[in-house]
Structure formats: structure tokens, C-alpha cells
Chain A
Amino acid sequence: AQTVTQSQPEMSVQEAETVTLSCTYDTSENNYYLFWYKQPPSRQMILVIRQEAYKQQNATENRFSVNFQKAAKSFSLKISDSQLGDTAMYFCAFMKRFQGGSEKLVFGKGTKLTVNP
């Protein structure tokens, strides 16, 4: 079974500081995909960053980067130069494709991040 664990229900950070959100997952597969989604208060869920398991290089999108440790099954999100607009729920998600084209996206329980002025 695939599970995704986010061990930090809530975190806070000062504006302009750096924060790291943790995520671990459990799978016996070798080829899969990992995502971080952001859900601001009362707004749509949007993709922050993605990582393909076969790529060793950590993904980066502007102020957002990941630390992907495949052997440890760890996929943490680092937010640099935090901004007030980064305040949101952050969900780590794991996706695996099956033969025949079906797929499954499993979410962690989320980390509520608050950026303080």
C-alpha cells in the first residue's frame, strides 16, 4: 500500500525566512511521481512543484525546491524568502501509474503553514 506521511500538522515562519516541510512516503515501486500542492485559504489547490522518481536532480521552481531522497523515501519542500502569500495548507502527494493506464494519487494529511509579518 502507498501511504504519504506529513509529520508536521502546523508550522510558522517569519516573512523572508526559509522553512522546510517534511514528507515521507511508502512504496515498493521504482517508478513514480511526487508532488507538492498548495491550498490557500478559500482558494483553489494549485501545484507547487513535481518530481519524477527516476530523476536524481532535485526539482526547483523559483523560491520552492525539494530535497528528494529516494532511498529514504523522503520528499521535503523548502520555501526560501517566505512571503505572506505562501500562507496555505501544503499537501504532499504520491502518484503511481499501473499497467492499463490507471493511476492513483495519494495525499498526505497536509501541513498548515503560516507566514508571519
Chain B
Amino acid sequence: EADIYQTPRYLVIGTGKKITLECSQTMGHDKMYWYQQDPGMELHLIHYSYGVNSTEKGDLSSESTVSRIRTEHFPLTLESARPSHTSQYLCASRTSGISLYEQYFGPGTRLTVT
């Protein structure tokens, strides 16, 4: 399996709380991504980064924010969690080199907001 890690794996939290989902990779990849996977399993890109201090919003509008201060670290933050944020969040990364564009995925964080 790929060297990309997400913590926590499971999180149950009350409405209004601030949370940060961690994602780290040890492969030196410059490109990193956050996907939201709904109960029907469909994946939607919510954020991506092509390097340090570079972040962009994805296709699906999200109230979350991200930062990329270090190459290996790409945390996602929700300032005020709501039940509509309940979902699985997947982090992925890939190199810009000649890799045939394969993205490596983390194990995911399953978030439940009560």
C-alpha cells in the first residue's frame, strides 16, 4: 500500500465544532488532493494543491479549507461542522514526474457530525 496516511480514521463530533483532518505522505509528491465520497460512493474533488503554498478549490463546493505549508502535509479544516458535512474524506497524492498520472490514496476519514 502507498505511504499516505490520514488521521483520524473515524470521527464523531457535534455540530459547531472545529475539526482538522490530517493527511501526510512520505513519497515526496508535490500534488495532493482531497475528495469527498458520499454514501452512494461517488467521489468529488473538493481541494487540490500542486505544491507548497498552492491550493485550489475543486469541482464540488465545500465549506472546508486547506493549507499546504509543507510538501508532505495537506490538512483539511472545517471551522464549524454541520450534519451536512457527514461523509468520507479521501486524501490522495501523486508526483509531477513521469508516473503515468497515478494518484495514491489514503485510507480515508469517516466523519459523522451529530
Contact = CB atoms under 8 A, between A and B. Distances in A.
Interface residues of A, number: 24
Interface stretch (B21-29, B72-80, B102-110): B102-110
A44 B40 contact: no
A35 B43 CA distance: 14
B76 to A, nearest CB: 17
Nearest to B103: A105
A105 B45 CA distance: 8
A105 B101 CA distance: 10
A109 B44 CA distance: 10
B42 A44 contact: no
A35 B99 CA distance: 13
Interface residues of B, number: 22
A107 B100 contact: no
Contacts of B2: 44, 46
B66 interface: no
A105 B34 CA distance: 12
Interface in A63-111: 89, 91, 95, 97, 101-105, 107, 109-110
A44 B102 contact: no
Contacts of B43: 91, 107
Interface string B37-75: 000111101000010000000010000000000000000
Interface of B: 1-2, 33, 40-43, 45, 50, 59, 90, 92, 96, 100-108
9 contacts: A35-B102, A37-B105, A39-B41, A43-B107, A44-B107, A46-B2, A101-B50, A104-B59, A107-B42
Given A44-B106, A50-B100, A107-B42, 14 more contacts: A33-B100, A33-B101, A35-B102, A37-B105, A44-B108, A46-B1, A46-B2, A47-B103, A50-B102, A101-B96, A102-B50, A103-B101, A104-B45, A112-B41
